[in-house]
Amino acid sequence: MSSSSLAAISLSQVTDQLHQYGSSLQGEHRLAVHALLEALEDGLRGTLSPHYHLSAIDPGVGKSLTVATFLKVWKELGFNPSSSILIGLSRLEEIRTYLQAAGLDRQDVAVLTSKPEFNELGAPEDQYGSAPIMFTTQQMIERRTRDRLFAEADEFHYKGRPRALRVWDESLVPAEQLTVSVDELGTLPIATRRQSPAYAAAVQSMLPGLWELKDGEKFTIPANLADAPARSRSSIGSAALIEDLTRMAGQEVTAVHIALGDVHLLGVGQPLPNDFTPVVILDASGRVRSTYDVWEAAGGPLRRLPSATKDYSNLRVHLWERAVGRVAMRTPGAVEDVVDALAEIIAEDGKSEWLVVHYNDQPFQPLLRDSVRPEQRDRLHFLTWGMHHGTNAFADCKKVVLIGQLTYGALGYRALAAACGASVDDEDVQDELRVGEYRHHLLQALTRASARHSRNGLAGTCTAYVVASPNIGARGLLREVFPGCMVERWSPDVPEVGGRAGQLLELLEQARAQRVPEVAKSELRTALGLTTSNFSRLLKQRDVLRYLNSRGLRVDRYAIAVPPGFETYLGGGFTVNELDDEPQIDAAVD
């Protein structure tokens, strides 16, 4: 490619801008940025192969700057080569960022969202087809191309033809995950009987056999359920359920047993049509998320561009391994123990801004605010899991706390496996996805803070306090996700306990020191001289519960044991689609 190419000019300007910020573009970072620019230019020229081209550049290295500069240079060259581009974003506010950074005028762009105030940032609707650049949301692309080819979605066209290049900003899961609860399906006959007696009867006749399905058993949804009653006359909950069932009609689905007889049906949709390629995916998690590996192994049309990983030598991680899943945090005193440990550390820090990522159903925010000095409260900032990505608002927080981890449960990982083209029954794939999703969320959450910054490939100075469940290998995963970081053990003291409770804790400590995986309750009762009822009461004492949580021990029917790994999400889990449902996303405001 000649030195005057669009990619070469853009690379020069990106390098100059980084130099102005006191940084440089060298080694693998320069290679990754250059490869991304070349893929973008090839897409405009129509020479990019019909694949999904994954660019995995760590947060803060300059992915957004690179794309914005490419658009800016393309405009400066009179939009030569004469072509078009469709950019699918995950957050509406990114549209303003791109417009400003690329210096684009209103007539240069079309903006297609469900929000009029954003659409008005671009050309009028009747001129969409004349604007070389179109911004929309990923959810809008998925909805408008559902059950039809991209070539048929003329709202995305440029001068009567599909736009030459498509850019997908952030993670892409290759297919949509469809799941319905059989219990919820049981509510449809009464919800639809008056409006559509035939539909209600069809659902009702299907229901008895669904509860009899074994875990992993296949079942074909009757094709006549595609003739659903009008959505406008259904309740919101029923409408969503009917829509999912309609999309499953005629499809073979898999029964998944959660617990207590709760059965879900798992299917796969196809949100992006087969002719949607070529696509450039911009995903900072691309190097750590296993979805791409599974998709690729299943024969997915994925091509990897050179990636860029930062040096995280300036990141210091304090790791506290204790039971901290959603279920464990419901144990009396568990939240308070974590809050007390954090408040003690924050009290020693007089100036730093803190970012705390926590579960949305636990009162960490009010409890922690009440536990620190009044003058420190304004320096505490909070995000919840599920809202922990896609914002730079906390990039100046040099202290970050991650409480727990996002896990999807049995249903979620099997659904994700199916969406990536793998078998829902392949346990190895599920394990691979479980670890990969943990890495993905770890990278996204921690780089909301100052580790996001980058200078000459070196991440910004940051101190992290990570509270993670035992036996998930958090120490190794941290070092894998953040190469060069320092991981230290953080073990807040467990209060001294006397009496029989103290004796029980001493016995359990001895077992831990000897790496005994489990201790029989009968042996502990005998050693303590307690009856079964008194021993059960002892296990419910607050100090004992705090100890069990802090050590990550699980009380089973016959023993006290070390749990095997990731804790199942309460209620069986959720899908990645549900995780990504956040207020900033266009789909949530339709």
Tokens at 572, concatenated: 């069986």
pLDDT band at 590 (very low <50, low <70, confident <90, very high): very low
Tokens at 431, concatenated: 């394990």
Higher model confidence: residue 439 or residue 406?
439
Range 266-270 average pLDDT: 85
Asked if 372 and 346 touch (Cβ cutoff 8 Å), the reply is yes
What are the E-state strand segments in 186-227? 218-220
Range 298-314 average pLDDT: 95
Burial of 579 (0-12, 13-18, 19+ CB in 10 A): middle
Could you tell me the CA-to-CA distances from 43 to 12, 86, 104, 140, 236 in Å, in that order? 20, 11, 20, 21, 41
d(C-alpha 570, C-alpha 485), whole Å:
32
What are the E-state strand segments in 236-364? 252-257, 263-268, 279-282, 302-304, 315-321, 354-358
- The radius of gyration of the chain's CA atoms, rounded to the nearest angstrom, is 27
Asked if 168 and 154 touch (Cβ cutoff 8 Å), the reply is no
pLDDT band at 578 (very low <50, low <70, confident <90, very high): low
Mean pLDDT computed over every residue of the chain: 88
pLDDT band at 494 (very low <50, low <70, confident <90, very high): low
Residue-by-residue DSSP string for 5-34: SHHHHHHHHHHHHHHHTT----HHHHHHHH
Rounded to a whole number of angstroms, the distance between the first and last alpha carbons of the chain is 44
pLDDT band at 231 (very low <50, low <70, confident <90, very high): low
Q: Does residue 47 surpass a pLDDT of 80? A: yes
Tokens at 443, concatenated: 């990278």
pLDDT for 240 equals: 83
Burial of 493 (0-12, 13-18, 19+ CB in 10 A): exposed
pLDDT for 583 equals: 35
d(C-alpha 167, C-alpha 89), whole Å:
8
d(C-alpha 339, C-alpha 369), whole Å:
9
Range 262-280 average pLDDT: 89
Q: Does residue 79 surpass a pLDDT of 50? A: yes
Q: Which one-letter amino acid corresponds to residue 571? A: G
Asked if 510 and 551 touch (Cβ cutoff 8 Å), the reply is no
User: Model confidence over 547-556: pLDDT tens digits?
Assistant: 887 777 888 8
pLDDT for 569 equals: 45
Query: HEC string of 154-206?
Result: HHHEECCEECCEEEEECCCCCCCEEEEEHHHHCCHHHHHCCCCHHHHHHHHHH
Q: Kindly report the number of other CB atoms within 10 A of residue 82's CB atom.
A: 12
Range 480-489 average pLDDT: 95
Q: Does residue 408 surpass a pLDDT of 70? A: yes
Range 355-369 average pLDDT: 93
d(C-alpha 106, C-alpha 113), whole Å:
15
Q: Please report which helix (H) or strand (E) contains residue 455, including its range.
A: strand 454-455
Range 176-182 average pLDDT: 89
Asked if 524 and 535 touch (Cβ cutoff 8 Å), the reply is yes
Write down how long the chain is.
Answer: 590
Range 181-205 average pLDDT: 90
pLDDT for 584 equals: 36
**Closest by Cα among 264, 267, 232, 233 to 248:** 267
- Residue 180 DSSP one-character state: E
What angle in degrees, to the nearest 10, is found between the helix axes of 499-513 and 521-528? 130
pLDDT band at 581 (very low <50, low <70, confident <90, very high): very low
pLDDT for 119 equals: 95
Of 32-36, 281-285, 408-412, the least confident: 408-412
Relative to beta strand 52-55, strand 279-282 is: parallel
pLDDT for 589 equals: 29
Residue written as token pair 């069990």:
548
How much of the chain, in percent, has pLDDT values that exceed 70? 93
- Give the global pTM: 0.85
pLDDT band at 462 (very low <50, low <70, confident <90, very high): very high
The DSSP bridge partners found for residue 321 are 468
Q: What is the largest CA-CA distance in the chain?
A: 87
User: Model confidence over 373-382: pLDDT tens digits?
Assistant: 999 999 999 9
Alpha-helical (H) ranges within 449-564 are 474-481, 499-513, 521-528, 532-539, 542-551
- What phi, psi does 259 have (nearest 5°)? -170, 155
Q: Does residue 580 surpass a pLDDT of 70? A: no
